Amino acid sequence: MATHRRPKPQRNAYGTMLTVTATAAVALSAQSASADPLPDPNKKGVKAQVDRLYEEATQATEKYSGAKEKAGTLQKEVEVLQDTAARKQEALNELRNRIGGIAADQYRSGGLAPSMQLLLSSDPDAYLDQATLADQLGARDVSDLQKFQVQQREVQQQRTQAATKLTELRDTRAELGRKKTEIQGKLAKAQQLLNTLSAKERAKITQEEDRANRDSARADLGNEASASSRGAAAFAAAKSRVGMPYVWGASGPGSFDCSGLTSWAFKQAGVSLPRTSQDQANAGTRINSLGDLRPGDLIIMRTDLSHVGFYAGNGQILHSPKPGAQVRYESIARSGMPFMWGVRI
- Is residue 298 classed as helix, strand or coil in its secondary structure? strand
State the pTM of this model. 0.68
pLDDT at residue 126 in the model = 56
pLDDT at residue 45 in the model = 86
Whether residue 4 lies in the annotated active site: no
**In sequence order, which ranges of 21-45 are alpha helices (DSSP H)?**
22-28, 30-35
Active-site choice (202, 275, 302, 307): 307
Identify any residues that bridge with 246 across adjacent strands, giving them in sequence order.
256
Closest to 238 (Cα-Cα) out of 317, 342, 301, 314: 317
Long-range Cβ contact pairs of 252-258 (< 8 A, separation 24 or more): 255/20, 256/320, 256/327, 257/58, 257/61, 257/62, 257/65, 257/320, 258/58, 258/62, 258/307, 258/308, 258/309, 258/319, 258/320, 258/321
Active-site choice (183, 258, 261, 318): 258
For 145-174, write each residue's pLDDT tens digit.
Answer: 677 778 888 888 888 999 999 999 999 999
Model confidence band, residue 234 (pLDDT cutoffs 50, 70, 90): very high
For 265-286, write each residue's pLDDT tens digit.
Answer: 999 999 999 999 999 999 999 9
Whether residue 319 lies in the annotated active site: yes
Active-site choice (68, 88, 319, 322): 319
- How far apart (Å, rounded) are the C-alpha atoms in residues 21 and 321? 14
For 296-319, write each residue's pLDDT tens digit.
Answer: 999 999 999 999 999 999 999 999
How far CA 219 is from CA of 6, 76, 243, 332, 337, in Å, comes to 9, 43, 13, 12, 19
pLDDT at residue 44 in the model = 56
